[in-house]
């Protein structure tokens, strides 16, 4: 009698650390509020990009539009990165921030990437026609974010493989 074996379990998707964005911020501007919702704009004034797959800077002029309803803050940021080779990369980075008492501090290779008590995740999309950086526009990313002081947000970007 032939033996049958269960099919091998396909591997789970993996996240590969790509780079970290340190976005410098100006104070938020209040836009308005509706029924239980507050809308604000936070200007992005500069910053840095550093990691094994991309290095460069955050260009001034972008910003983050946020809508907060209760404890849930929906983020919609758009800004530009400039790679060390001069290529300009557009990023639209959407996500959520809210208190979550069950979220622990998380570390990647000894570096803190999230803050305990806070769910702060993003889903960035990149655009560029620079051949050396086209892979950014062809890859799905997940960002783990955390504040770093009053005027900086750090977003550690992972490529979904």
Strand partners, 93: 77, 124
Please give the tally of structural domains in the chain: 1
CATH number at residue 132: 2.40.160.20
pTM: 0.89
Q: Is residue 4 part of a domain?
A: no
Q: Is residue 10 part of a domain?
A: no
Extended beta strands in the chain, E state: 15-25, 29-34, 37-50, 56-58, 62-69, 72-83, 88-99, 106-108, 111-114, 118-127, 141-147, 152-160
* pLDDT tens per residue, range 68-82: 999 999 999 999 999
**Residue 160 is encoded by which pair of tokens?**
């979904």
Are the beta carbons of 18 and 51 closer than 8 angstroms? yes
Domain that holds residue 123: 15-160
Among 5-14, 110-119, 126-135, 144-153, the minimum mean pLDDT is found in: 5-14
């Amino acid at each position: 009698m032939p033996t049958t074996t269960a099919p091998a379990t396909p591997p789970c998707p993996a996240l590969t650390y790509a780079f970290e964005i340190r976005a410098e911020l100006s104070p938020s501007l209040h836009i308005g509020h509706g029924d239980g919702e507050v809308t604000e704009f936070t200007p992005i004034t500069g910053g840095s990009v550093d990691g094994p797959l991309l290095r460069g800077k955050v260009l001034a002029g972008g910003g983050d539009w946020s809508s907060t309803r209760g404890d849930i803050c929906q983020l919609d940021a758009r800004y530009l990165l400039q790679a060390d080779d001069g290529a300009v990369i557009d990023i639209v980075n959407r996500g959520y921030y809210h208190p979550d008492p069950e979220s622990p501090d998380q570390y990647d290779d000894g570096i803190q990437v999230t803050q305990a008590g806070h769910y702060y995740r993003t889903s960035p999309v990149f655009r560029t026609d620079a051949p050396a950086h086209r892979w950014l526009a062809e890859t799905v990313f997940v960002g783990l974010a955390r504040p770093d002081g009053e005027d900086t947000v750090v977003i550690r970007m992972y490529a979904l493989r």
